[in-house]
Amino acid sequence: MKDWIVIGAGYAGIAAASVLQKRGFETDLLEAHSLIGGCASYFKRKNFLFDVGATTFSGVLASQPLGRLFLELDIKPQLRKIDPGMIIKISGKQVMRYSKQESWLEEINFHFPGKNMDKFWKKIFRLDKIAWEFIEQNSKIPPRSISDFLSLLKLRNLNKIQMLPELFRSVLRELKSLGLESFEFKNFLDEQLLITTQSRADEAPMLTSALGLAYPAETYYPIGGMYKPAELMLAKFKEEKGDLFLKDRVISIIRKTGFYEVSTTKGNIYTAKGIISSLPIWNMAEITEGEIQKYFISKSKKNISAPGAFTQNFAIESNVDLPSLYYQVHSRNPIPYCEAGAFFVSFSHIEDREKAPEGFRTVTISTHTKTSEWLGLSKEIYQAKKEITAKFILAEFDFAFPELQAANKIYSLSGTPDTFEFYTHRKNGYVGGIPHSIHSNLLFMTPNVTPFKNLFLVGDTVFPGQGIPAVVLGALNVADRISG
């Protein structure tokens, strides 16, 4: 019997497993897919490697989750800082999201002149700084016991309490108070907020929005693909004698007296004193029983849905040296069968030979969609909708990047929520976690700690939410609770 079983080898699961194993806990890591990475995994076509979901890296400073994780595991991924961290193409403008605050303030004022524009962004930067400091110093958030609350009432935290009301104040309310609620600027923010909070300005809380809107200042590109840092983490896990089991999907978790029993599709039965699951809460409701199942059904009913993604991948023959690797393109017309008004474009680095041969680059495009648009369709209707959406996005891509319009594109492949459900087994192909809003903010998210002894949760449907830094933070918090 092991000390811990970690379910899911995405970033949350690998982070939890590698840290626990290094701290002396015997750990099994179970993964349903044949590859690691979860929503930050990859697929190959001959000499080309494509990221399937997440494409940007952040939170790697020493005080931030990935920086702390890399330091503890003593690993050094190959990361290239990208500046501008993103370029937003909107209404004929190219807005450069520079890393330096001064450069960004100059840029945003040029494109969206406003009396209080500096005031808005300086508040974003201030909230971002305070939030990261608070996170760095407190591993027991959200508090789940009296001792947790007491640990948060330390002197070092008192000057940071000012940020809490910002969980209940929307970005739109802030914009209105500053006279910045013009349609164009709100639309500009809405599409960025959809990437990071899954909500628009009228619902997105200022605090979590600050973390999302500030992140392009620290955007990194992992050489070889998004899974590469996770691969280094996994190597440390194995080096410490941790066991990984691929293509072994969990179908049942049963609580016994003093331990848990986990059954898989291969007919294997694993036992451990505790479970850390990175599965979405909806999936947990399907593989548990008794009081545990009732708990996850309750949580699922409170969060009845989440966004899906439409993705378009292709390789492009080009040596054009672009000013950034990451772009958000606002489309001229609504994207068919999608709910966002923009799509995110990620290019492989021109020198990254692990992702594409010389003279080529891989491209990943993603945008928000409702999962209901893609599930339960006939094969003919599904294929027709997919072709319409892909054709539209590729045409918008050509318009946004005229310098690449004549470039040869190969291995063009589309993905929908149905694709994500098939490969990741996530309920309904939900990706990106649960939307943050002023009515359902961080304080109301499903916590990492459950009411059941030695059953913990990590991943994007529990605190602190979506994104690699967030799910790694959740994993570190759980590991800290376990190891004391």
pLDDT at 150 over 80: no
- Rounded to an integer, the average pLDDT of 68-74 is 97
Task: Specify whether the CB–CB gap between 375 and 385 falls below 8 A.
Answer: no
Identify the band that residue 291 occupies on the pLDDT scale cut at 50, 70 and 90: very high
Residue pLDDT, tens place only, 177-214: 999 999 999 999 999 999 989 999 999 999 999 999 99
Identify the band that residue 163 occupies on the pLDDT scale cut at 50, 70 and 90: confident
Identify the band that residue 393 occupies on the pLDDT scale cut at 50, 70 and 90: very high
pLDDT at 155 over 60: no
pLDDT of residue 370: 95
Reported pTM: 0.94
pLDDT of residue 156: 62
pLDDT of residue 85: 96
Identify the band that residue 280 occupies on the pLDDT scale cut at 50, 70 and 90: very high
pLDDT more than 90, % of the chain = 85
Residue pLDDT, tens place only, 315-330: 999 989 999 999 999 9
pLDDT of residue 159: 65
pLDDT at 308 over 70: yes
| Domain boundaries, given as residue ranges, for the chain | 2-37+224-303+446-483, 113-221, 305-428
pLDDT of residue 252: 98
68: exposed, middle or buried (C-beta count within 10 Å: 0-12, 13-18, 19+)? buried
Which distant-in-sequence residues (6+ apart) come within 8 Å of 186 by Cβ? 172, 175, 201
Residue pLDDT, tens place only, 240-268: 999 999 999 999 999 999 999 999 999 99
- DSSP state, residue 244: E
Is the backbone peptide bond immediately before 464 cis, with ω within 30 degrees of 0?
A: yes
pLDDT of residue 305: 80
Q: Name the 3-class secondary structure at 388.
A: helix
Average model confidence (pLDDT) for the chain?
94
- Rounded to an integer, the average pLDDT of 359-379 is 96
Q: If residue 20 lies in a helix (H) or strand (E), which one and from where to where? A: helix 11-22
Identify the band that residue 471 occupies on the pLDDT scale cut at 50, 70 and 90: very high
pLDDT at 167 over 70: yes
pLDDT of residue 443: 75
The CATH class, in words, for 2-37+224-303+446-483 is: alpha beta
Q: Rounded to an integer, what distance in angstroms lies between the CA atom of residue 456 and that of residue 274?
A: 8
